A and B are shown apart, each in its own frame.
Chain A
């Protein structure tokens, strides 16, 4: 499978105390484990993103335990209240043990 590419949208600037919206998406087939191979008729083993986490300056902000009922190319949108400038770190954990992560900086004024 092509390497999963995370895509994240974080506003670059915000006012202190503002609640911002973060949108994340990663391309992943999210194989549910219920589909059958059309030729052999055998079940295709499950392979999904099973965990997503968001940290801000090292502190956990938001996370999700994901099961196969989440669609392919899992999308998560959530809110964060920011009071200081810093860096968001987003991590996705694959069933095969690999992790994908990306970082975004935000500048908080006032």
Chain B
């Protein structure tokens, strides 16, 4: 391929622009750069999250990743000595996997909540529940996303 001087300069400028954009983006991501697995470990303190008790409801296919309805429900009597303390919701394919942490009390009656979240691409949504006795339970659902919801 014959590359003229003009083309060579253009290529160089393009590459430089990519480099600048790249470095500008990195610090924003580095603030909370952890995978979903890291986030679960940090939440459980290394304890294993068993499956069961938590049921997560998500759409199978989300046409718009900007607002995906998510509901979870944790089986528990919700009394003062046996209740769900916290539920962590994660999206493992987002630039930052953490979505939200919900805190419950014995006044909650039922450990269930709904919200709407952003999903950048097709990925798993994970809910991890922390029980008052220190046990952890989780559920995971794959959501197919047609249009991502993180802008950019």
Query: Is A74's CB under 8 angstroms from B115's CB?
Result: yes
Residue of chain A at shortest CB distance from B109: A81
Candidate in B66, B78, B105 with the most chain A CB atoms within 10 angstroms? B105
Query: Does B55 touch A at the CB level, under 8 Å?
Result: no
* Distance, CA A62 to CA B112, complexed state (A): 10
* Distance, CA A24 to CA B121, complexed state (A): 27
Across the interface, which residues of B come within 8 angstroms of A66, CB to CB? 100
CB distance from A63 to the nearest CB of B (A): 5
Query: Is A62's CB under 8 angstroms from B95's CB?
Result: no
Query: Does A47 touch B at the CB level, under 8 Å?
Result: no
Query: Is B116's CB under 8 angstroms from A70's CB?
Result: yes
Query: Is A64's CB under 8 angstroms from B101's CB?
Result: yes
What's the dominant secondary structure at chain A's contact region?
strand
Query: Is B28's CB under 8 angstroms from A80's CB?
Result: no
CB distance from A14 to the nearest CB of B (A): 11
Query: Is A36's CB under 8 angstroms from B66's CB?
Result: no
Please classify how large the interface on chain A is, using the bins under 10, 10 to 19, 20 to 34, 35 or more.
20 to 34
Query: Does B147 touch A at the CB level, under 8 Å?
Result: no
Query: Is A36's CB under 8 angstroms from B152's CB?
Result: yes
Query: A34-B28, A34-B152, A62-B102 known; A70 and B107 CB under 8 Å?
Result: no
Across the interface, which residues of A come within 8 angstroms of B150, CB to CB? 32, 34-35
Partner of B28 from A33, A56, A59, A79 at Cβ < 8 Å? A33
* Distance, CA A104 to CA B103, complexed state (A): 20
Residue of chain A at shortest CB distance from B73: A79
CB distance from B54 to the nearest CB of A (A): 15
Q: Which of A28-48 contact B (CB under 8 A)?
A: 32-36, 41-43
* Distance, CA A107 to CA B107, complexed state (A): 16
Candidate in B68, B101, B109 with the most chain A CB atoms within 10 angstroms? B109
7 additional contacts (CB under 8 A) given A70-B100, A71-B66? A43-B24, A64-B100, A65-B100, A71-B67, A77-B114, A79-B113, A81-B109
